[in-house]
Amino acid sequence: MAENIPIEEYLQQISHATDIIQSKINANPAISKPRVMIICGSGLGGIADILNPKKKIEISYSQIPGFKTSTVQGHAGKLVFGLIGENEVPVMCMVGRLHFYEGYTFQQTTFPIRVAKELNISTVIVTNAAGGINESYKPGELMVIEDHINFPGLAGWHPLRGPNLESFGPRFQPLSDAYDHELRKLFVKTANNLGIKRPIHEGTYFFAAGPTFESRAEVRAIRVLGGDAVGMSTVPEVIVARHSGLKVFALSLITNAGVGEKPPSALHENPKALDEGMASHAEVLETADEASKDVQKIIESMVNEL
């Protein structure tokens, strides 16, 4: 696996990417100073469709030095700049995120967050598709993330590992305030005002590196550890965003229910098939597509207030 590049080279990449992006969006003064970054999770790339089509600029990751390529279905791999809502809030949508399991380092997967900070963005909204660990969660429901468990980080795979970027944040970053309370309240209030009937939970997101979906025993273990939903993204981005001084709101769309029952026994008759309830990426995308309209409505109205 590739190692982090030297810190000075990394900072130069951030600066170069920022300059390239700024030169492109300066062509439209209305969107040249984005305030909010929205990271679109699996199947949620349609969030970018709520931007005003008349004032929108798209930039492929391949056009930006330092940006890597999204390789996962449902992740387009482009930045979309535009305006949201009646208040015309300038935003940057990241349509297609980068994952550790794709073979990228955390330094590479969180690179766009550092660039967002250099663009003077102040708020990051992170969305993802996640598996339901809490047995009361059903596919299609939403979970506002109030806390997380960085499982790879506990084992040493941490996005802030290595020399600290002093110009961004402290060596020892507190995370007890990672998920902004006011933004979480605003999301719930907005959903209620819009009359959204889709159930909304608040819980803890468990970050697993992937790319495999969890085994039955792992689902049971995550429950014991306190995870309500599990996914393969978000936490590295949140940590780097907080290290950069950005406010964070994060949302999980529950796309499948984790299977935690023990597998059918080979010693006794069991009517359940081994593949019953098994997760698939196709299921994730299908569920995300069904719920995406509600998510888009809430995000649009929420961002309009920022």
Tokens of 274: 């081994």
Report the alpha-carbon distance of residue 84 to residue 50 in Å, rounded.
7
Report the alpha-carbon distance of residue 27 to residue 230 in Å, rounded.
40
Give the residue ranges of DSSP H helices in the chain.
7-25, 106-109, 111-118, 151-154, 181-193, 216-225, 235-243, 281-303
Spatial neighbors of 215 by CB under 8 A, at least 6 apart, are: none
Phi, psi at 157, each rounded to 5°: -90, 85
Q: Are 43 and 292 in contact, with CB atoms under 8 Å apart?
A: yes
Q: Are 262 and 177 in contact, with CB atoms under 8 Å apart?
A: no
Give Cα separations from 157 to 131, 185, 207 (angstroms): 22, 32, 12
Active site residues: 42, 75, 99, 101-102, 129, 232-233, 256, 281
**Residue 255 amino acid letter:** T
